[in-house]
């Protein structure tokens, strides 16, 4: 286990925030985790787990231990109806999805080109273009730093919901994800529930008859409206799409007749947060060193030299404005650390 002190974290988060960790431990194997568990000098320190840092906002320096997860490796177990594919938590998510398609294991194509690591995918229950990763997860293998034990958590026990899981709750936030095992069916069916995929396929001439075609279109759509974190710091979609129910949903629809919304199975409605932000006039605005991306109102960007507090201030201003204008409270997606 490699240990560094007063380590800069600018290259460990896609926002490109210049922050420092008192201790940085690079975790490449399960044995590294066990070594960390045995090290009494760090046992009582605050702990932050970082993969690609694509869903993290560092709002200040971290006075504790950062575990940078770099556990790699992929294994395949073929069964009669599916393939069980296990990937290490440190594997790059976008590369992993490409690899599954290249090897002939379809099922994750709608989730192509999402920044981050495999280990982060179940925490946030990442989703895009009509699919959530929870639909493909068999189980998650974790390390318990309290007991030092390693065990599997089956899908149903992960308590997946929209952009959340047991790993964001007090009962599971202490676990360190080692690997994720996916169940990819041999009877592949295209997941075409997302309207934009259908519309864009017609506009761009995609047949969507193969997982490769879907992946190619998803990548093209994402490139057209989402900034590359290597060019401009960002964490992708910064706000969750709000879900309203009962009287709040009815009041919103009656007051905002032109607003798009999607009825959920429980009769609540999901409202595109990007529409709210765009409608309120924030899209493309710049406030000092931060701003809202001109092609996608959901994305907050670091124009260079921004602090985490700069991003938080912009986020708070947007939330206050949306609450005032629409009566809707936006909830940030990234985990805020250090404030």
157-177 pLDDT, tens digit each: 999 999 999 999 999 999 999
- Count CA within 13 A, CB hemisphere, residue 223: 7
CA distance 222 to 115: 11
Q: Percentage of the chain with pLDDT > 90?
A: 94
319-329 pLDDT, tens digit per residue, is 999 999 999 99
User: How many other CB atoms are found less than 10 A from the CB of residue 47?
Assistant: 18
Q: At what angle do helices 211-225 and 195-204 cross, to 10 degrees?
A: 90
- Listed range (37-46, 128-137, 177-186, 302-311) with the worst mean pLDDT: 37-46
Instruction: Say if residue 83's pLDDT is above 80.
Output: yes
Instruction: Determine how β-strand 62-69 pairs with β-strand 47-50.
Output: parallel
pLDDT at residue 242 is higher than 90:
yes
CA–CA dist 133, 93 (Å, integer):
11
Active site members: 163, 237, 333
Length of the chain: 339
Q: Angle of helix 211-225 relative to helix 93-102, nearest 10 degrees?
A: 150
CATH of 2-69 given 3.30.43.10, 1.10.645.10, 3.40.50.2000, 3.20.20.70? 3.30.43.10
**Token digits for 130?**
């009509």
- Give the start-to-end residue ranges of the domains of the chain: 2-69, 74-185, 233-337
SS (H, E, C) the chain: CEEEEEEECHHHCCCCCCCEEEEEEEECCHHHHHHHHHCHHHCCCCEEEECCCCCEEECCCEEEEEEEECCCCEEEEECCCEEEEEEECCCEHHHHHHHHHHCCCCCCHHHCCCCCEHHHHHHHCCEECCEEHHHCEEEEEEEECCCCEEEEEEHHHHCCECCECHHHCCCCCCCEEEEEEEEEECCCCCCCCCHHHHHHHHHHCCCCCCHHHHHHHHHHHHHHHCCCCCCCEEEEECECCCEECHHHHHHHHHHCCCCCCEECCCCCEECCHHHHHHHCCCCCCEECCEEECCCCCCEEEECCCCCHHHHHHHHHHHHHHHHHHHCCCCCECCEEECC
What rounded mean pLDDT belongs to the chain?
96
Phi, psi (rounded to 5 degrees) for 30: -65, -35
Q: What is the pTM of this model?
A: 0.92
Closest CA to 161 of 82, 245, 264: 264
Q: How far apart are CA 53 and CA 156, in angstroms?
A: 26
Burial classification of residue 199, based on how many CB atoms lie within 10 Å of its CB (0-12 exposed, 13-18 middle, 19 or more buried): exposed
**307: phi then psi, degrees, rounded to nearest 5:** -95, 165
233-337 folds as 3.90.78
pLDDT at 40: 87
CA distance 145 to 122: 19
When pLDDT is cut at 50, 70 and 90, the band that residue 43 belongs to is confident
Tens of pLDDT, residue by residue over 267-278, are 999 999 999 999
The yes-or-no verdict on residue 339 having pLDDT over 80 is: no
**Token output for 143:** 């390390």
- Cβ count near 283 (within 10 Å): 18
Tell me the C-alpha distance between 292 and 204, whole Å: 27
The pLDDT, as a whole number, for residue 75 is 98
Would you state the structure tokens that stand for residue 305, as one six-digit string?
């030299």
- What's the pLDDT score for residue 101? 98
Which of 2.60.40.1840, 3.30.465.10, 3.40.50.300, 3.90.700.10 would CATH assign to domain 74-185?
3.30.465.10
pLDDT at 338: 79
pLDDT tens digits for 45-77? 999 999 999 999 999 999 999 999 999 999 999
Given a contact cutoff of 8 angstroms between Cβ atoms, the answer to whether 202 and 217 are in contact is no
d(Cα 283, Cα 296) in Å, to the nearest integer? Answer: 7
């Amino acid at each position: 286990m490699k240990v560094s002190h007063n380590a800069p974290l600018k290259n460990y988060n896609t926002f490109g925030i210049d922050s420092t960790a008192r201790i940085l431990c690079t975790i490449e194997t399960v044995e590294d985790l066990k070594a960390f568990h045995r090290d009494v000098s760090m046992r009582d320190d605050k702990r932050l787990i970082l993969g690609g840092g694509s869903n993290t906002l560092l709002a200040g320096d971290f006075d504790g231990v950062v575990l940078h997860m770099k556990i790699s490796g992929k294994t395949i177990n073929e069964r009669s109806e599916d393939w069980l594919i296990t990937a290490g938590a440190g594997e790059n998510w976008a590369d992993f999805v490409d690899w599954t398609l290249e090897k002939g294991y379809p099922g994750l194509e709608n989730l192509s080109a999402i920044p981050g690591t495999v280990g982060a995918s179940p925490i946030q229950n990442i989703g895009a273009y009509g699919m959530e990763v929870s639909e493909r997860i068999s189980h998650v293998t974790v390390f318990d730093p309290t007991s030092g034990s390693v065990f599997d958590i089956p899908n149903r026990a992960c308590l997946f919901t929209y952009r959340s899981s047991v790993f964001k709750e007090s009962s599971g936030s202490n676990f360190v994800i080692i690997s994720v095992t996916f169940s990819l069916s041999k009877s592949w069916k295209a997941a075409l529930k997302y309207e934009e995929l259908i519309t864009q396929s017609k506009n761009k001439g995609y047949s969507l008859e193969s997982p490769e075609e879907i992946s190619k279109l998803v990548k093209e759509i994402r490139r057209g409206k989402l900034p590359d974190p290597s060019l401009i710091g960002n964490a992708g979609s910064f706000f969750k799409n709000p879900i309203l129910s009962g009287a709040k949903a009815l009041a919103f629809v009656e007051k905002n007749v032109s607003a798009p919304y999607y009825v959920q199975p429980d009769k609540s409605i999901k409202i595109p947060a990007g529409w709210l932000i765009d409608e309120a006039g924030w899209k493309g605005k710049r406030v000092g060193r931060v701003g809202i991306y001109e092609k996608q109102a959901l994305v907050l960007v670091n124009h260079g030299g921004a602090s985490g507090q700069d991003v938080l201030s912009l986020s708070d201003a947007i939330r206050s404005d949306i609450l005032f204008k629409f009566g809707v409270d936006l909830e940030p997606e990234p985990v805020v650390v250090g404030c």
